[in-house]
Structure 1
Amino acid sequence: MRTTVPQAHHDAPACPDITSVAVLVELLRNDASGGHVKCWERFAEAAARREDDQAGIDLTVYMLGHREYVEELSPRVRFVALRPVLSTAVVMPAVGGVDITDLAPHHPRLAALLPRHDVWHLTHSFAFATTAVRLARRASPAPRAGLVSSLHTDVPALASAYTRQLVGTVPGLSRLADGSAAGLPHLVEALARRRRDRLLRRCDRVLCSSSRACMEMGAITGRDRVSLLRRGVDHERFRPDPTARAELVRRLRVPGDRPLVLFVGRVDASKRALLLAEALCRLRRQGHQAHLLIVGSGAETGRIRELLGPDVTELGRQPQDRLAQVYAGCDVFAFPSLTETVGNVVSEAMACGLPVVLPERAETTQWLTAAGYDGLAVRDDTPEGWARALESLLVRPGARRLMGRRAARTARTRHPTWTQVLEEDLLPVWHEAADMVQRAAVGRL
């Protein structure tokens, strides 16, 4: 149930035996939200399913909304939506489909609500995060909240991709794409990385999505402050379904006589969907038949439609239950993105029995047991390289089905549930951050 945010609710003191955690997700929450938002929806649902005295936390997930409201999942778990101060919605026509965030240096409403919480968990590096770090700095040397941060997206790489897209499409800038503006994406990436690292250094704990990322962040913040935050998968929702293909053919009228290649995500430069379309176009010229299904929207949908014509079906955003059926009804999942820190969609596809095709240097390969066993890692990260990798699966249906069965087994046996990740990766860090602040406060007495 959604209601307006009651001021008394946020002013009420938390139970002394319960750690009050504020998770700050400066992204718009709606039915079209991406994996970052869905990740915290799943964690919140997992926390709400626990008995009140088990988790030892009171969890509030702050997100952006068109209006302010609170949605209670349980007596101790809720979403709170706050209106953005400086929304990126104004640049949407130029970049097409990018998640809306808040670029303001300070969010006054959030600043008024944060002091009631014991732990502030940053998940981005924009308005919510800068507000929390500013408040923490002002609190010193007085007791302050514990600061935790988790990395969900490679924001510097994302900023570079969108800058490159802007330079190539905005009138006036496009003429400079190979000249004076050529270095602009690299400059934006460097500035975004410097900003992110500065925020991370203020945090008591930093959570990363892979061992490699933990090592990289450890060099910035100190290894004793870094630990792993995995992602979960809903095994009840995402699983093989032998009836799904016939349903897709009937409902969506996609071809039933050729392999279906699936892409899920924003259809823009950050996810590199166009590279996949170019690879399939090459295969078509070589006489191979395949049909591309796209779940998502973005600036490059028109160019992909021009390349593939009737060989592509655009489904737009899909709810989770419908998405599970789409996964299970396809033959191959291809995801060229290099900006993911995890890529929940990869695990979901594997759980539904699809072999996955990923860039070799992407973090998403961490979902695989081994490249060539339950998925492919593309070393030649070009349209030609992707065409060869896809061809090896499209022309060998037996090998494709075997790899899909292995992918489903990997998901069942190696990919954790959201509840497992909450209990093993998140709760200990939140409690530790709260204890660190409490011990520091006692030490100053």
Structure 2
Amino acid sequence: MTSVAVLVELVRGSTSGGHVKCWERFAESAARLPDAAPGLDLTVCFLGDRERVETLSPRVRLVMLRPLLGSGPFASSRGAEDVTDLAPYHPRLAALLPRHDVWHLTHGFAYAATAVRLARRTARRGGPVPRLVASVHTDVPALAAVYARYLAARRLPGAGPPLARGAERWLRRRRDRLLGACERVLAPTPAGRAELAATLGADRVGLLRRGVDHGRFHPDPTARARLARAHGVPTDRPLILFAGRLDATKGLPLLADSVRLLRARGRPAHLVLAGAGADAEPVRRSLGADATLLGPLPQERLAQVYAGCDLFAFPSRTETCGNAVAEAMAAGLAVLLPEGAHTTQWLTAPGEDGVVVPDDTPEAWATALASLLDDPPRLTALRHRAAGTARETHPSWDRVLTEDLLPVWQPASPARPAAPPLRPAPERR
């Protein structure tokens, strides 16, 4: 039995982002492994408002631990960032880790720092050293640079650019230092793997793809009417969907400007936004009746929103993978993506199963949108081809777990007994 602890230092909730959802899906897949499969005991650690354990199977569980120094009070704007733990060390996690053979890092703050520090201490003392592996899910340094600009604009006018550059440089050094302590690092795309290989060496870098829940995300001809009834979106014009954080890290201001330009040119279109973030109110003021803001949505409701729209426009360049793109394609939406972005990996025939926009300007995005709105047969063909690409080439979470993760976890050092059921620490008064 190989015991694995995956460290996801983000708050888990029904509307959490793709990083959290990714590991929820992997845990569900692990719980479905047959009893005859090679022995795996999996614990996925998240952050939560209280310590608790959620058991998915006798060998799979989710653990929530309280953050010691939560980043919420430092957020640049309400709803803009995911909450992590900025503490340099998490003693409760440190007490739980030694029962596991493999420590899998997925971020770069309290949990990752604790794991690396504890592994080095164990090695110095001559104890059984765990296997450290990692996977890259988010370009945290790039996101931090944008949020630093938000923060500076509100509190330190004029300090934005140097603050952003400093934050990005510091976080990249920190990320590289933590990844350097791992024997194996997994990237979400071949391009990301090549980038990491230049620093870590090709023999230490592998691929961890993202899966798609095809049972949840699929075309649904009834979804449009239900979306109109529930949220009052118009039924007489195409619906352009954006899902994710509503801020500049995802390119939302660029998309909003392009839709405003599109409407000024007389094209019928309506923007639907699923998520929360710093630019929600500016977009609401800018587009008025031409936009519907749904707020953060759980996966079940988000799947219905996907299926009820026509296009998915996603100008983000900070994605390491962009699972929202795969979900939109599975739901039968035409997708528009920036040229050169990692998200284009989901396309097998750009121009046929999705549109690649060459320039990050409102004019270029408005022109790309208009080319589809003015040609309904092409839009329909793109939607059908996108759904076909998703069915035929986008792997399930079960497949990714079996092909990408288990081979990394299971060539382990001599196995220890399976981790016993975890119990929350006593409540402190």
What is the TM-score when the length of structure 2 is the normalising length?
0.94
What is the match of residue 135 of structure 2?
150
Separation in 1 of the partners of 2:240 and 2:171? 34
Structure 1 residue 114 corresponds to structure 2 residue 97: yes
5 Å-filtered alignment, 1:130-169, equals 130-140=113-123, 142=126, 143-169=128-154
CA contact (8 A) 1:52 1:76 kept: no
Which residue of 45, 54, 71 maps to 1:88? 71
Which residue of 62, 76, 82 maps to 1:79? 62
Cα deviation for residue 237 of structure 1 reads 0.9
Residues 95, 156 of structure 1: CA spacing in aligned structure 2 closer, same or farther, 3 A cutoff?
farther
Separation in 2 of the partners of 1:84 and 1:55? 34
Residues 193, 93 of structure 1: CA spacing in aligned structure 2 closer, same or farther, 3 A cutoff?
closer
Structure 1 residue 203 corresponds to structure 2 residue 182: yes
Separation in 2 of the partners of 1:377 and 1:189? 27
What is the match of residue 291 of structure 2?
312
What is the match of residue 112 of structure 2?
129
SS in 2 for 1:369: coil
What is the match of residue 85 of structure 2?
102
Cα deviation for residue 436 of structure 1 reads 8.9
What is the match of residue 413 of structure 2?
435
Structure 1 residue 51 corresponds to structure 2 residue 34: yes
* 1:172-220 Cα distance to aligned partner (Å, 9 max, x none): x12x15xxx4222122111111100011110010000111111111121
What is the TM-score when the length of structure 1 is the normalising length?
0.91
Separation in 2 of the partners of 1:207 and 1:437? 22
State the one-letter code of the partner of 1:421. V
Structure 1 residue 265 corresponds to structure 2 residue 244: yes
Cα deviation for residue 435 of structure 1 reads 3.5
Separation in 2 of the partners of 1:378 and 1:435? 47
What is the match of residue 281 of structure 1?
260
What is the match of residue 11 of structure 1?
none
Separation in 2 of the partners of 1:215 and 1:22? 26
What is the match of residue 25 of structure 1?
8
Separation in 2 of the partners of 1:436 and 1:78? 22
State the one-letter code of the partner of 2:30. A
CA contact (8 A) 2:2 2:415 kept: no
Residues 93, 219 of structure 1: CA spacing in aligned structure 2 closer, same or farther, 3 A cutoff?
closer
What is the match of residue 6 of structure 1?
none
SS in 1 for 2:249: coil
SS in 2 for 1:435: coil
What is the match of residue 7 of structure 1?
none
State the one-letter code of the partner of 1:98. E
Seq. identity, %: 60
Structure 1 residue 379 corresponds to structure 2 residue 362: no
Separation in 2 of the partners of 1:135 and 1:299? 37
| Structure ranking higher on relative contact order (CA contacts 8 Å, 6+ apart) | 2
Across the aligned residues of Structure 1 and Structure 2, the Cα RMSD in angstroms comes to: 1.4
What is the match of residue 225 of structure 2?
246
Residues 436, 224 of structure 1: CA spacing in aligned structure 2 closer, same or farther, 3 A cutoff?
farther
Separation in 2 of the partners of 1:308 and 1:404? 26
Q: Which runs of 5+ in 1 are unaligned?
A: 1-17, 439-445
CA contact (8 A) 2:325 2:335 kept: yes
* 1:352-398 Cα distance to aligned partner (Å, 9 max, x none): 11010111121111000122111111111111111111111122111
Q: Number of residues paired by the alignment?
A: 414
